[in-house]
Amino acid sequence: MIEISSNESLRSLNETNPLLDRSSAVEKLNEVPLWDLIIIGGGATGLGVAVDAASRGFKTLLLEQSDFAKGTSSRSTKLVHGGVRYLAQGDIGLVYGALHERGLLLQNAPHIVKKQSFIIPCYTLWDKIQYLVGLKLYDLLSGRFSFGRSNFQDGKKMQASLPAINSRRLRGGVEYFDGQFDDARLAINLAQTSKANGGVLLNYMRVVRLLKKNGKVIGVTATDQETKKEYLLYSKAVVNATGVFVDDILQMDLRESRPMVRPSQGVHLVFDKSFLDSSRAVMIPKTTDGRVLFAVPWHDHVLVGTTDTPLDQHSLEPKALDEEIEFILKTFGQYFKRKPTRKDVLSVFAGLRPLAAPQKDTDSTKEISRDHKLIVSESGLVTITGGKWTTYRKMAEETVNKVIRVGGLERIDCRTKHLPIHGSLGNMTAGGDLSIYGSDEIGIRSLVKENPEFGRPLVDGFPFIKGEVIWSVRHEMARTVEDVLARRLRLLFLDARAAIRAAPAVARLMAPELVQGNEWIETQVSEFIALANNYLLEPYVTKELVGSV
């Protein structure tokens, strides 16, 4: 635990804490007549660009139509990795670059990124040989950024490491090391890092059209989703970093533009930690849909996924298909002693990967590039898509370099390789349930000192406290109950029923902070319950919760 040593240290924290305050950010829209760049999209890629651009000293504005990381960027498998399966496909360059970025992420955000042991179960001698050889190459490619050396484990050691594993015909396993993180928490910290470097970021600000002069993009028109006020915002360059929505922005630019993205849906199921019963993660390298399947310990639960289902449509709240759910249940059950059922699923969530569209018609995601793609339209619109969380920083660096040329900005070198991400502890040490906040743990504990009620549990069976809700509103631009329970605290993704039970308390805590009344509280709780039921396989009807607000 971080202790508040003195009023002076707390004052120092408050001076350096990059408060994400929506009202002051909105005011900035009227104060800056011309931005160096406007970024559309507040997911991993957009936030990475906002950090890179702001740290170079550019006047940077980021606009997100919903909440930060609302879409794909909060729905990953929570891995910071080079991509073992891409190595099997022979994409050495992609893996090498990702392993390098993995090392930089651990260096710059040690409060969020952790080293994680993974084990691949082996049922034949050939499995042992090919996986160990492949992972030794993985180790070699990681170089000085290695997270640990891969090794072979015999059957007895496997049983000790993974007591829940199905030992029938088990010949042992191969252990290797990768990274794990909390995606939405990193997204918020990136927003804070950009703000600390002079960036302006706004959630719930939807771009509705591009502004043009002589065929060139010179800014955007954006609508505040809360006040419905419209803003004309001018800039030297505009970046389209909207993930699966990139084609929507491209069509604002040119209605006849060819689709750049082919969405692929990935589904995850969350279970009680007893199903894995280990601090180690499991990677199943061969499944019937051609993907790998991960079972990863995450926030005292086990996260299992993912699928790879090509889709023709995109949305902010994609829904898992029954066949995807059954595939995960069946595959997971084949490798573990305890067979999960639909009743064991605490939460199910789906995310859409913005994979670069193939040049030929295909329904196979294997034909779709996993690398990122950066293009500049004739209008000067810069579009970045594809990639993954691990490589967000490198994607941002390439994007800002392109923006410098397109927008005629001053040539300033990238500064993010060794830039600490907000919350990075430096010489401080942390431990306990609030350690994921890094240096912000001090601020949350100061709230509890001021008001002991904020130290009380938010919901039984979970470590979250009321002070975290207050902190997320005051410092992290949380605007709705969903923002708090889905992306600031992750409870919706861990246990949707528990999140529903917590919703009334969260709404009551948020209301005075946002100067809202009972009508807002009731609406928020009702809307959240409707949303949360989409994360359950069986609806959780709670009329008494709404009535008790």
CB 484 within 8 A of CB 465: no
Those residues with Cβ within 8 angstroms of residue 331's Cβ, 6 or more apart along the chain or in another chain: 284, 287, 288, 293
- What is the distance between the alpha carbons of residues 127 and 125, in angstroms, rounded to a whole number? 5
Please write the tens of the pLDDT for every residue from 455-474.
999 999 999 999 999 999 99
> Where are the domains positioned within the chain?
19-72+185-260+367-407, 113-180+262-363, 451-548
Q: Which CATH number fits domain 19-72+185-260+367-407: 3.40.605.10, 3.50.50.60, 3.40.50.1000, 3.30.200.20?
A: 3.50.50.60
Please write the tens of the pLDDT for every residue from 367-422.
344 578 999 999 999 999 988 999 999 999 999 999 999 999 999 999 999 999 99
Give the pLDDT of residue 223.
98
How many other CB atoms are there within 10 angstroms of residue 164's CB atom? Answer: 17
Please write the tens of the pLDDT for every residue from 268-314.
999 999 999 999 999 998 887 777 899 999 999 999 999 989 888 88
Q: What's the gap between Cα 387 and its chain centre?
A: 13
- Decide yes or no: CATH 3.30.9.10 for domain 113-180+262-363: yes
- What is the distance between the alpha carbons of residues 318 and 121, in angstroms, rounded to a whole number? 32
pTM above 0.95, yes or no: no
Please determine, for residue 545, whether its predicted confidence score (pLDDT) is greater than 70. Answer: no
Q: Which residue has the tokens 């992972």?
A: 135
Q: Interhelix angle for 392-407 vs 44-55, to 10°?
A: 60
| DSSP H helical ranges for 383-487 | 392-407, 441-450, 466-475, 481-482
CB 277 within 8 A of CB 163: yes
- What is the distance between the alpha carbons of residues 23 and 13, in angstroms, rounded to a whole number? 22
**Percent of the chain with pLDDT strictly greater than 90:** 79
Count how many Cα atoms sit within 13 Å of the Cα of residue 318 in the half-sphere of its side chain. Answer: 27
CB 299 within 8 A of CB 185: no
Give the pLDDT of residue 14.
34
CB 392 within 8 A of CB 44: yes
Give the pLDDT of residue 42.
98
Q: Which of 79-88, 475-484, 536-545 has the highest mean pLDDT?
A: 475-484
Cα end-to-end span (Å), the chain: 34
- What is the distance between the alpha carbons of residues 203 and 404, in angstroms, rounded to a whole number? 25
- Tokens representing residue 384 in the block: 């970045």
Q: Give the mean pLDDT of the chain.
A: 91
Do the two domains 19-72+185-260+367-407 and 113-180+262-363 of this chain adopt the same fold?
no
Please write the tens of the pLDDT for every residue from 7-38.
333 333 334 568 999 999 999 999 999 999 99
**DSSP three-state, residue 490:** coil
- What is the distance between the alpha carbons of residues 129 and 151, in angstroms, rounded to a whole number? 11
- What is the distance between the alpha carbons of residues 88 and 137, in angstroms, rounded to a whole number? 11
CB 344 within 8 A of CB 177: no
Count how many Cα atoms sit within 13 Å of the Cα of residue 358 in the half-sphere of its side chain. Answer: 11
